[in-house]
Each structure stands twice: as C-alpha cells, then as structure tokens.
C-alpha cells in the first residue's frame, strides 16, 4: 500500500499532482443506482476551488469534473468510477526558486527524503490540490447518505488566529455558513476574521485556525469496537488533510478538566422510544460506535508554510540560504478547507454505513 487509498467497502484512490495534467479519483465499492450528475458533484468542487475570493489563492481553475466510468444513464453502475479534473492554470515558472531551496515547515524536504527527488512544481502530491479528488468522490457519498438516512454534513470556521466565534453546532445552518467568504456563521465575528486574514496577507504571511465539523442524523451503531472506531477513523481522515495539526471530538481536551459526574451524558428515552442523551460531551460516539446524537469535532489547521516573508532555510546541497516564496497561495486555508472536512466526514460515514449494512443483513 502506497498510502493513496482510503476506506474499505467504499474505497477511494486519488491520483495526480498540482501541476500535472490532471487530478482525479477512482471510487470502488460505490452502490449501483445512485442518481447523480456531474453538475451536482461540481457544486461541492466549486466550494473548494481556488480563486473564489480575495482571501484565497488567486490561481484560476474551473475544476470541471468529468465522470469517465462506472456511470450510465445518469446512475452509478456499481463498477469502479473514474472522476477527473484537468489542470489549466499551472504557471510552474513561479516555483523555480523551489527547485533547490526547501520551504521551512513544508513537505519539500520530507518528500525528497522519502523518494530521493520531488516534484517542485506547486508541491506535486503534497499540494492541497489533491483534495479536489476527495471532494468529488464524497459528493456521491453525501447524496447517497442524505437520501438513504437523512445524514447531513456541515462544517464551519470557528476560529482564526485568536478570534473565536460563538456558534451552537446543533442549530447552525448551511445558509449562514455560506453567507460570507470566511465561512463563519457568526457574522460579526466573521468580519473580524476577514480583516485579520487581509492584514496577514498584506504582510506576506499566513495564519491558521479551527474548523468545527458537524454530522447530523447518524444512526446509532456505526463504527467498529477496537481499531476501526468511528472516532478513530474520523481522526485519521481529518489528520490526512493538508495543514491539519490537531483533532478532538466532543469535549476533547476541555473534557480533561471535568469529573466523570460532570462529563457523563445522562440518558433518557424520548417520546418516540429512541434512546437519547441530555448532553453531548461524547461527541456522538461512545466506545467507538455512534450513539445517535450529533457527531461534532474540531480540526486545527496550522498557518500555510509557503509565505512571502523571507525565511532561513537550506538548499538541496545543504547550504544555508534565504527564501521568500513566490507562487500563489492561500493566506488562510480555512474557507476552502470547509468542503474538504465535509468530504472526509462523508467518506468515513459512507464506509461505516455500508459495513454496518453488510454485517447486519
């Protein structure tokens, strides 16, 4: 295994580089008969694409998706699907300085240490452009899960730098998330976040923050009890996203400050006979298995490592040098990472949903 695939029953394998010919994904194990169009997939890709606002990278890519296999008469056939988007606005000459110099805190050095050489054009496979493939595949999973079980995925920017929003994950709506370019549903806080990103961008720097992920209407019983805990797979999924440095579910690290009597979620049976909890410190999973409550988690993104400010680094022949990176990069990845967090959530839930159905025939 070369680490390019994710999932067991619903399995994706992504391919392509940032400045190669195309980026795409093979989806294997997709149930047959799902009615979906390229236009529906495109909706999710448009949320991720570059150049969508003045606080994202100015690279212009339409990210137009094409379905080349596993699809007939508007439906999935059950055979492997190939989805592809061709690159257009590459401008590899912007990256000539990176042929020799390593960017501090970037994968330049580690990729070369692993493979013996690297694709310096826009980072190759280390580029977040690879996530286009994940979003495309997940759009199919999102539609299937919405129609079969009413499962809903939505994420939002909760924090940029030290500016934090006050949002109730149980009531937040997609329209509020999409109402501004930073994708924070707290409108007043969003304005402060945007101003901070603009300031950082003007300084040739970058900044990180936190995304809150929310998954609603997940039935109880998804997940495996030991190594494939639902929470563990969500953690792996989120930590596989570029620039992610932390993951916590439910109360997370704040829960360590509580006693068991405070942290435990009291249980009751509602009017429909469904077992519920009065609080949700567990984050929607207990023992690695979903308990029917809303799954909520937080994902920490570091500042983008490619910045215009001059930094100390070394060259491939280990000589000290200075580097102020050129190229087109996001001063803050958070707005464009929202659909990626949604996508990885959907891929995990889709895989466990199908595994649960296979186990309980």
CA separation for the pair 162, 192 (Å, rounded): 11
CA separation for the pair 25, 76 (Å, rounded): 15
Strand partners, 311: 323
Split into its structural domains, the chain has a count of 1
pTM: 0.94
Instruction: Say yes or no to pLDDT of 1 above 60.
Output: no
Q: What is the mean pLDDT of the chain?
A: 92
Q: Per-residue pLDDT averaged across 128-139, rounded?
A: 95
**Nearest one of 346, 315, 307, 238 to 57, comparing CA atoms:** 307
Range of the domain at 133: 5-359
CA separation for the pair 43, 38 (Å, rounded): 9
Q: What is the pLDDT of residues 220-263, one digit of tens each?
A: 999 999 999 999 999 999 999 999 999 999 999 999 999 999 99
CA separation for the pair 311, 105 (Å, rounded): 11
Cα-only R_g, the chain:
21
Q: What is the pLDDT of residues 187-228, one digit of tens each?
A: 999 999 999 999 999 999 999 999 999 999 999 999 999 999
The pLDDT, as a whole number, for residue 72 is 97
The enclosing H or E element of 202 equals helix 187-202
91 or 316, greater pLDDT: 316
Those residues whose C-beta lies under 8 Å from the C-beta of residue 311, and which sit 6 or more positions away, are: 103, 104, 322, 323, 324
The pLDDT, as a whole number, for residue 190 is 97
**327 — pLDDT class (breaks 50, 70, 90):** low
Q: What is the pLDDT of residues 88-123, one digit of tens each?
A: 865 655 566 777 888 888 888 898 999 888 888 767
Residue 303 DSSP symbol:
P
The pLDDT, as a whole number, for residue 88 is 80
Q: What is the pLDDT of residues 146-175, one digit of tens each?
A: 999 999 999 999 999 999 999 999 999 999
CB of 145 closer than 8 Å to CB of 353: yes
CA separation for the pair 287, 226 (Å, rounded): 8
Specify the CATH number for the domain of residue 163. Answer: 3.60.150.10
Q: Per-residue pLDDT averaged across 298-314, rounded?
A: 93
Phi-psi region of 91 (alpha: psi -120 to 50; beta: other; left: phi over 0): left
């Amino acid at each position: 295994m070369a680490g390019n695939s994710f999932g067991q029953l619903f399995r994706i394998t992504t391919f392509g580089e940032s400045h190669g010919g195309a980026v795409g994904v093979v989806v294997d194990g997709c149930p047959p008969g799902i009615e979906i169009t390229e236009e529906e997939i495109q909706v999710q890709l448009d949320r991720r694409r570059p150049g969508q606002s003045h606080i994202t990278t100015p690279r212009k890519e339409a990210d137009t998706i094409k379905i080349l296999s596993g699809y007939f008469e508007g439906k999935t056939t059950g055979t492997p699907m190939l989805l592809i988007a061709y690159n257009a606005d590459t401008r590899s000459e912007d990256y000539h300085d990176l042929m020799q110099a390593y960017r501090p805190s970037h994968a330049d050095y580690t990729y070369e240490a692993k493979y013996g050489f690297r694709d310096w054009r826009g980072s190759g496979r280390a580029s977040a452009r690879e996530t286009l493939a994940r979003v495309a595949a997940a759009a199919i999973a999102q539609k299937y899960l919405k129609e079969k079980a009413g499962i809903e995925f939505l994420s939002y920017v909760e924090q940029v730098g030290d500016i934090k929003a006050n949002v109730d994950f149980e009531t937040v709506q997609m329209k509020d998330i999409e109402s501004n370019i930073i994708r924070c549903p707290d409108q007043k806080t969003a304005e402060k976040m945007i101003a901070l990103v603009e300031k950082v961008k003007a300084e040739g720097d970058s900044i990180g923050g936190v995304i809150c992920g929310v998954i609603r209407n997940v039935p109880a019983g998804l997940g495996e009890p030991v190594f494939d805990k639902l929470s563990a797979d969500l953690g792996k999924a989120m930590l596989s996203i570029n620039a992610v440095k932390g993951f916590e579910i439910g109360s997370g690290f704040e829960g360590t400050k509580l006693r068991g009597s405070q942290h435990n979620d009291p249980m009751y049976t509602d009017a429909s006979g469904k077992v519920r909890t009065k609080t949700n410190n567990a984050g929607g999973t207990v023992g690695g298995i979903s308990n029917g409550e809303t799954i909520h988690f937080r994902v920490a993104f570091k500042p983008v490592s490619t910045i215009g400010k001059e930094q100390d680094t070394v060259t491939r022949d280990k000589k000290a040098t200075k580097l102020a990176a050129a190229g087109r990069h996001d001063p803050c990845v958070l707005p464009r990472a929202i659909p990626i967090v949604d996508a990885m959530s959907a891929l995990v839930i889709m895989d466990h949903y199908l595994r649960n159905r296979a186990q309980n025939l």
